[in-house]
Amino acid sequence: MSHLILIRHGQSEWNLEKRFTGWVDVDLAANGKLEACKSGELLKDNNINIDYSFSSLQIRAINTLKLVHNTMRIKETFTKAWQLNERHYGALTGLNKDEMKKKFGEKKVHEFRRSWNIKPEPLNKNNPYHPINIETYKDIPKENLPDTESLEDTYNRVLPYYKKNIQNKIVEGKNVLIVAHGNSIRAMCKYLFKLDEKKISLLEIPTGNPLVINFEKNKIVKCKYLDKSRAKDLIAF
């Protein structure tokens, strides 16, 4: 049996402020660091060993994974990939979610956040929050830096990376840990659990709570969140 462990980074500073973050490189809040350490403790308590680890290129995911590794006493390096980044929220980036609900209505904001193929207006390239103006992404070809994304766009960059670099390791019986983001994990779950466009919009991903997916002969046989007190409805099994 092999395990795929998906962890959404711990609570970030902008999660705490209820701001649309997307590709802005925001670090963990104090509670997010605690969530990351608890994730490591839960994996250790469940005797789950890690063979390979991956994170997005964003500091909140990287630091979550580092804290998980430190808690589990893992010294191995890990792979960072921009393809696992959060969805880009376009012109909503940096804005407060509650204020946007008042301005556009809760239904419209929910549509922006959860719909499959609707994306916000593009973020102006002169905006300091645009990826071309963020040091983290200086080595990524500019044609790969988005102005805005839908969940479908996120799926279309996450899945090729997953299939090429991660899926084969699970087939080989290895345990793989991925620390990423709400929407990049949602994209993987759509593929893994064969969810349609309506069901994927209902899937909530809690911060800092390991989702362990068990495989036998490359088929999912079981999945669960390790922190049951903060588990969301999986809608998959």
The full set of domain ranges for the chain reads 2-230
User: For residues 185 and 3, what is the distance between their CA atoms, to the nearest angstrom?
Assistant: 15
Task: Give the chain's radius of gyration (CA, Å).
Answer: 17
User: For residues 27 and 38, what is the distance between their CA atoms, to the nearest angstrom?
Assistant: 18
- Residues 86, 130, 149, 181: which is the catalytic one? 86
Contact 30, 16 (CB under 8 A): no
pLDDT given at position 33: 98
Please give the C-alpha separations between residue 54 and each of 68, 80, 94, 134, 152, in angstroms, as whole numbers.
12, 6, 26, 21, 22
pLDDT given at position 231: 77
Q: In what order do the strands lie in the sheet with 79-80?
A: 79-80, 52-55, 176-180, 2-8, 211-216, 219-225
Write out the DSSP string of 56-109. -SSHHHHHHHHHHHHHHT-----EE-GGGSPPP-GGGTT-BHHHHHHHH-HHHH
Catalytic annotation present for 86: yes
Catalytic annotation present for 204: no
pLDDT given at position 198: 86
pLDDT given at position 133: 97
Scored b (16 or more CB within 10 A) or e, 171-180 reads: eeebbbbbbb
pLDDT given at position 114: 73
Q: Which segments in the chain show pLDDT lower than 70?
A: 233, 235-237
Range 2-230 has CATH code 3.40.630.30 = no
Q: Is 231 helix (H, G, I), strand (E, B) or coil?
A: coil
Contact 181, 61 (CB under 8 A): yes
Contact 148, 89 (CB under 8 A): yes
pLDDT given at position 106: 80
Counting every residue written for the chain, the total comes to 237
User: For residues 68 and 153, what is the distance between their CA atoms, to the nearest angstrom?
Assistant: 29
- Residues 9, 88, 130, 181: which is the catalytic one? 9
pLDDT given at position 236: 58
User: For residues 130 and 115, what is the distance between their CA atoms, to the nearest angstrom?
Assistant: 22
pLDDT given at position 104: 74
Tell me the longest C-alpha to C-alpha distance in the chain. Answer: 50
Name, in order, each residue with C-beta under 8 angstroms of 37's C-beta and a sequence gap of 6 or more: 67, 68, 70, 71
